[in-house]
Amino acid sequence: MAEYERIVQPFEPVYDENAKILILGSLPSVKSRENGFYYGHPQNRFWKVIAAVYDREVPQTILEKKELLHKCGIAVWDVIES
């Protein structure tokens, strides 16, 4: 049997009572885990697209990203726990 590295989903879901849209991912990338939040790879367009769709500034910090999701009624989580 081959050995494998167990990767645990490190992020809590981001949601509040106003969420109307749920975006489910599978498992955060290595870069996202290194950066400490969803869609953290610099080449990922997720934050740019969300900001453009809702005519907002592109968030830079984790706090700004969470605020953008809440303001836009978006919940985010990955479906793989481990």
Enzyme catalytic residues: 44
Q: Which residues contact 77 (CB under 8 A, 6 or more apart)?
A: 11, 13, 14, 15, 22, 23, 24, 25
Cα–Cα distance measured from residue 52 to residue 7, given in angstroms and rounded to the nearest whole number: 32
Q: Residue 67 carries which side chain, given as an amino acid letter? A: E
